[in-house]
């Protein structure tokens, strides 16, 4: 990471012109955002800890593992441990590549903005629209899957207490109730991230420390290290090597995700060129390392009858493991704490998706963009409500059965990875705009290697997310409809674009008033070429040099 600090001023060069800003009079974050063509509309209240907390809270280590444990159990304990360890390393590379882009061009639009920036001219507008829609729906899908999992956890607690049957309608009612209260929570400014971090840390300590102690006290047996680290049980009809990849990787893929949420907070973050990369990389690293410990503790303490766990009456394998080790009362308390953590996960995702949808609406990409882009009291109030309504509509499809629900919520994984990989690809093959490093940059050689490996990994995950769990017994009930549903959404979206939206959407565009441009020190110091597009974008070439001309936030 490059570093250079001045005393009371910051030296920056744009093109061939250098200027110095006085920190006492000019907010460098707002000035840099102005260089990207946007006015400051949201309040910059998120420090580095809050940016980390947002992403770490969305990952929600123990609640996410609780919802995805069944994936790993399909291939046995070794796949859970090694799959997490290997997949997490590759995800860290993905986050590193994203951090370089976030440091270079810190804007809430993020992925669709970068795709536009690096793409060839003929592809800029349709590709940015495609990524904007895909990323928005992927984040909505993440909100759905997290909150739907939360509904399952809540009803598992109800089952432990009263033995009641869990129905699709009961799950949706619980889901809708949670969405409503998450929306209310996001409308009021408070430091949710610190609370989320505290709850997640407490849950990690319970699983890593209290679960083994309780298992031993109540006469349970620990599984052998051979079983934990070498026990492979392929419960699918896929070849063993592919079952390890497919089922071993998915828990980490589902859990260590949505770290692009840090990017979408760029216009509310203090010093985003530094704080956003730190938030991305630190949240991935912490979740990856602690996730290994959590998974080991679970596998060591669980009853080795995997079929019993997968078919537990609680509906959740981890709930059954906690019930076996803690007994009913303590298991219920832990499940309530997990549910609380998962509730805050959903609320943090709602914050992220609302910022993405607000940014996309600001650029005219969404239907009803003029309504959604309005900011009230320094927050995108209407975008928050619009995101919640979309999540409620998407969640209603779960009433059609688990197959439809799984396909709907898998929009999150496929859409997320398509959105992530596209700007990275365009950075290297777009061929029109060279990448200008930000504060966080690993150098040309290491950066290229990391991004190439990251791109290959993301393509593999895109393929894996479209495959059924059982290859030899595929039916309409067991078919993975992810690619069908995503293809349908993408097809409708692009038809809408070419028939209607291309008349009003021209990609990311400047929303500064000319008075604001004239008042900006950046635009006083830089010769700005206004492109002859229907919605002009300032063509500003940003150059940062390592010593005398470096933006330091």
Confidence of residue 180 (pLDDT cuts 50, 70, 90): very high
* Per-residue model confidence (pLDDT) at position 316: 82
Q: Tell me how many degrees the CA angle 311-465-111 measures, rounded to the nearest 5.
A: 130
Same domain, 281 and 317: yes
Same domain, 140 and 4: no
Same domain, 18 and 82: no
- Asked if residue 43 is part of any domain, the answer here is no
Is residue 257 a contact partner of residue 68, using CB atoms and an 8 Å limit? Answer: no
Same domain, 410 and 296: yes
pLDDT, tens digit, for every residue of 261-316? 999 999 999 999 999 999 999 999 999 999 999 999 999 999 888 889 988 877 78
Number of Cβ within 10 Å of residue 412's Cβ equals 25
- Asked if residue 75 is part of any domain, the answer here is yes
The three-state secondary structure class of 184 is helix
Same domain, 94 and 136: yes
Same domain, 525 and 486: no
What is the per-residue burial (b if ≥16 Cβ within 10 Å, else e) of 331-360? bbebbebbbbbbbbbbbbbbbbbbbbbbbb
- Asked if residue 297 is part of any domain, the answer here is yes
Q: Per-residue DSSP letters for 3-20?
A: ----SSEEEEEETTEEEE
Pairwise CA distance, residues 283 & 59, whole Å? 8
Lowest mean pLDDT among 268-277, 287-296, 468-477, 513-522: 513-522
* Per-residue model confidence (pLDDT) at position 199: 94
- Asked if residue 46 is part of any domain, the answer here is no
> H or E segment at 542?
strand 542-543
Same domain, 405 and 367: yes
CATH number at residue 350: 1.20.1740.10
Q: Which of 478, 504, 530 is the last residue of a domain?
A: 504
Q: Position of tokens 């993405």? A: 356
Q: Which domain holds residue 145?
A: 51-190+199-262+271-504
Confidence of residue 551 (pLDDT cuts 50, 70, 90): very low
> H or E segment at 347?
helix 328-362
Q: Two tokens at 211?
A: 């679960």
pLDDT, tens digit, for every residue of 222-250? 999 999 999 999 998 899 999 999 999 99
Confidence of residue 518 (pLDDT cuts 50, 70, 90): low
> Mean pLDDT score of the chain, rounded to an integer?
84
| Cα of 433 vs its chain's centroid, Å | 26
Lowest mean pLDDT among 38-42, 141-145, 516-520: 516-520
Q: Strand pairing partners for 20?
A: 11
Q: Two tokens at 413?
A: 């994984």
Counting the structural domains of the chain, the total is: 2
Same domain, 520 and 372: no
More confident call, 251 vs 478: 251
pLDDT of 15 above 60: no
Terminal Cα-to-Cα distance of the chain (whole angstroms) = 13
Closest among 424, 493, 431, 428 to 459, alpha carbons compared: 424
* Per-residue model confidence (pLDDT) at position 553: 27
Confidence of residue 516 (pLDDT cuts 50, 70, 90): low
- Asked if residue 44 is part of any domain, the answer here is no
Same domain, 115 and 244: yes
- Asked if residue 203 is part of any domain, the answer here is yes
Same domain, 285 and 220: yes
The mean pLDDT of 416-435, rounded to a whole number, is 87
Same domain, 330 and 397: yes
pLDDT of 1 above 70: no
pLDDT of 485 above 90: no
Q: Which of 464, 480, 504 is the last residue of a domain?
A: 504
The mean pLDDT of 443-462, rounded to a whole number, is 95
* Per-residue model confidence (pLDDT) at position 23: 44
- Asked if residue 292 is part of any domain, the answer here is yes
Closest among 397, 322, 350 to 171, alpha carbons compared: 397
Tell me the CA distances in angstroms from 341 to 161, 336, 353, 456, one per residue in order: 20, 9, 19, 33
- Asked if residue 534 is part of any domain, the answer here is yes
Query: What whole-number percentage of the chain has pLDDT above 90?
Result: 53
Is residue 279 a contact partner of residue 55, using CB atoms and an 8 Å limit? Answer: yes
More confident call, 205 vs 514: 205
More confident call, 89 vs 305: 89
What is the per-residue burial (b if ≥16 Cβ within 10 Å, else e) of 6-26? eeeebbbbbeeeebebeeeeb
What are the strands of the beta sheet with 17-22, ordered from one edge? 17-22, 9-14, 542-543
Residues 6+ apart with CB under 8 A from 62: 200, 203, 204, 206, 207, 294, 338, 341
pLDDT of 20 above 50: no
pLDDT of 546 above 50: no
Same domain, 31 and 72: no
Number of Cβ within 10 Å of residue 445's Cβ equals 8
């Amino acid at each position: 990471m490059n570093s250079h600090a001045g005393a009371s001023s910051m030296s920056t060069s744009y093109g061939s012109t250098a200027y110095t800003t006085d920190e006492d009079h000019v907010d460098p974050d707002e000035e840099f955002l102005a260089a990207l063509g946007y006015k400051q509309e949201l309040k910059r209240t998120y420090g580095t800890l809050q940016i980390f907390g947002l992403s770490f809270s969305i990952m929600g280590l123990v609640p996410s593992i609780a919802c995805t444990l069944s994936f790993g159990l399909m291939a046995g304990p070794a796949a859970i441990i090694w799959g997490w360890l290997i997949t997490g390393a590759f995800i860290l590379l993905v986050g590193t590549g994203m951090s370089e882009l976030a440091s270079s061009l810190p804007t809430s639009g993020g992925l669709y903005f970068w795709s536009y920036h690096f793409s060839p001219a003929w592809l800029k507008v349709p590709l940015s629209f495609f990524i904007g829609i895909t990323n928005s729906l992927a984040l909505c899908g993440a909100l759905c899957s997290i909150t739907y999992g939360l509904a399952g956890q809540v009803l598992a607690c109800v089952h432990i207490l009263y033995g009641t049957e869990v129905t699709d309608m009961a799950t949706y009612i619980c889901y809708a109730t949670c969405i409503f209260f998450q929306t209310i929570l996001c409308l009021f400014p408070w430091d949710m991230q610190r609370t989320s971090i505290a709850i997640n840390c407490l849950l990690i300590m319970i699983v890593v420390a209290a679960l083994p102690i309780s298992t031993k006290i109540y006469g349970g047996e620990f599984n052998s290290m051979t079983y934990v680290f070498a026990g492979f049980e392929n419960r699918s009809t896929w070849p063993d090597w592919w079952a390890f990849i497919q089922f071993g990787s998915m828990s980490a893929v589902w859990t260590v995700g949505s770290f692009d949420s840090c990017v979408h907070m760029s216009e509310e973050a203090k010093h985003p060129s530094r704080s956003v990369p730190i938030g991305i990389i630190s949240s991935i690293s912490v979740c990856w390392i602690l996730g290994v410990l959590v998974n080991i503790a679970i596998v060591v303490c669980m009853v080795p009858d995997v079929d019993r766990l997968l078919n537990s009456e609680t509906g959740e394998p981890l709930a059954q493991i906690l019930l076996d080790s803690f007994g009913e009362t303590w298991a219920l308390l832990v499940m309530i704490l997990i549910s609380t953590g998962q509730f805050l996960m959903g609320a943090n995702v709602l914050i992220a998706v609302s910022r993405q949808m607000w940014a996309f609406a600001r650029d005219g990409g969404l239907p009803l963009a003029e309504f959604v882009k309005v900011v009230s009291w320094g927050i995108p109030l209407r975008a928050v409500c619009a995101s919640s309504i979309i999540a409620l509509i998407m969640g209603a499809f779960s009433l059609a059965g688990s197959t439809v629900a799984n396909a709907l919520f898998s929009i999150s994984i496929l859409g997320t990875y398509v959105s992530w990989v596209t700007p990275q690809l365009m950075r290297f093959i777009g061929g029109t705009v060279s990448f200008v490093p930000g504060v966080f940059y690993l150098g040309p050689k290491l950066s290229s290697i990391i991004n190439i490996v990251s791109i290959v990994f993301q393509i593999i995950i895109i393929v894996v997310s479209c495959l059924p769990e059982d290859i030899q017994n595929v039916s309409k009930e067991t078919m993975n409809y992810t690619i069908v549903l995503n293809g349908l959404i993408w097809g409708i979206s692009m038809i809408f674009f070419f028939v209607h939206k291309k008349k009003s959407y021209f990609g990311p565009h400047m929303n500064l008033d000319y008075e604001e441009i004239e008042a900006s020190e950046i635009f006083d110091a830089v010769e700005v070429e206004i492109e002859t597009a229907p919605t002009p974008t300032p063509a500003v070439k940003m150059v940062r040099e390592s010593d005398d001309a470096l933006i330091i936030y």
